[in-house]
Amino acid sequence: MAEANNNFFVDMHCHIDLFKDPVSAIRSAERAHVYTIAVTNAPFVFENTAELVATSRYVRAAAGLHPELVGSHGHQIDKLRPLLDQTRYVGEIGLDYTTLDESLREKQRHVFGRALEWCAEYSDKIVTLHSRRASADVISMVGSGFTGKAILHWFSGTKKEVERAANLGFYFSVNPAMSQSKKGQSIIAAMPIERVLTESDGPLVGVGQNSQLHPADVKLAVQDISTLWRVSFDETQSRICENFRTIIDDRSTHFQDFPEDKDSQKTRFNLRKFDGQPR
Ligand SMILES: [Zn+2]
């Protein structure tokens, strides 16, 4: 009954496989009760990450193809398709317009569009989105008819875009680098509180002396968000836990996606893999 209350944390976007010691990063997430989505940057690394987290209660692997890898790994897009039967979680996908190469941007849109089309064949996908300098296109491409749930990770667009995304049902995941910057804070203040989630984006992000954030460091974001919202840390944590329950659509004591009993977890994932039914 440990999780009956909102005493957990959520890291909706962490690159577990990029830590020097991924196993200890997973263990620290477990110890701190942080439900963690381990995003992957290309289909060929999914299996390794899925194996790493296979016995974890708190960490789940997501399948993705990072927009910044589309130039080198875009040809792997077809390999993403079958992975969507193995996990409910998708990411990192999206667009990154730091490149000024229009043909590469077009290729990114093609890859992202395919991934979204496939996700839409299911009804329960949870997708974590990269949108650097491309927020308007990312929001439009997901659009209004998406059958899953979309999370804008480390959103850096405008307040108007926050409003537009929120009206379309998007969520936002906030990391400590964002919550500690003035620009980030003004964006967070524009988000509806029922759409705010946390993330570490570790180990790619650091703040202050902490050069590589871990899942448990989402507490720093919770602290900053509580200051912005002018409510207590506990109230903020509780709100984010509620938002997590809503996005995974699970209000039970023990989340189905995160079973305590590893064997039942294996059974569930094997069933997903073999029954051939999109969901
Ligand atoms: Zn990332």
For 24-50, the DSSP string reads HHHHHHHHTTEEEEE--SSGGGHHHHH
With respect to residue 5, please indicate whether it lies within any of the assigned structural domains: no
Distance 275 CA to ligand 1 centre (A): 31
b/e sequence 21-34, b meaning 16+ C-beta within 10 Å? ebeebbebbeebbb
What range does the domain containing 185 cover?
A: 10-273
Q: Give CA–CA dist 5/219, Å, rounded.
A: 17
With respect to residue 139, please indicate whether it lies within any of the assigned structural domains: yes
b/e sequence 242-255, b meaning 16+ C-beta within 10 Å? ebbeebbeeeeeeb
With respect to residue 137, please indicate whether it lies within any of the assigned structural domains: yes
Provide the number of structural domains found in the chain.
1
With respect to residue 235, please indicate whether it lies within any of the assigned structural domains: yes
With respect to residue 196, please indicate whether it lies within any of the assigned structural domains: yes
pLDDT score at 79: 97
Distance 202 CA to ligand 1 centre (A): 8
pLDDT score at 114: 97
What is the C-alpha R_g of the chain? Answer: 17
Where is 12: in which H helix or E strand?
strand 9-14
Distance 1 CA to ligand 1 centre (A): 32
Distance 175 CA to ligand 1 centre (A): 11
With respect to residue 3, please indicate whether it lies within any of the assigned structural domains: no
Residues with a beta carbon under 5 angstroms from ion ligand 1: 92, 201
Distance 201 CA to ligand 1 centre (A): 5
> Could you read off the pLDDT tens digit of each residue along the chain, which spans 279 residues?
445 578 999 999 999 999 999 999 999 999 999 999 999 999 999 999 999 999 999 999 999 999 999 999 999 999 999 999 999 999 999 999 999 999 999 999 999 999 999 999 999 999 999 999 999 999 999 999 899 999 999 999 999 999 999 999 999 999 999 999 999 999 999 999 999 999 999 999 999 888 899 999 999 999 999 999 999 999 999 999 999 999 998 888 788 899 875 554 444 444 344 333 333
Distance 92 CA to ligand 1 centre (A): 6
Distance 212 CA to ligand 1 centre (A): 13
Distance 172 CA to ligand 1 centre (A): 13
With respect to residue 1, please indicate whether it lies within any of the assigned structural domains: no
pLDDT score at 6: 85
pLDDT score at 252: 84
Q: Enumerate the H helices of the chain as residue ranges.
A: 22-31, 46-52, 70-73, 77-83, 102-120, 135-142, 159-167, 176-179, 182-190, 218-229, 233-248, 262-274
For residue 192, which of 157, 218, 168, 216 has the smallest C-alpha distance?
Answer: 168
CA distances from 81 to 43, 63, 64, 126, 151 (A): 9, 9, 10, 15, 20
With respect to residue 2, please indicate whether it lies within any of the assigned structural domains: no
Phi/psi-derived region of residue 208, left when phi > 0, alpha when psi is between -120 and 50, beta in every other case? left
CATH number at residue 131: 3.20.20.140
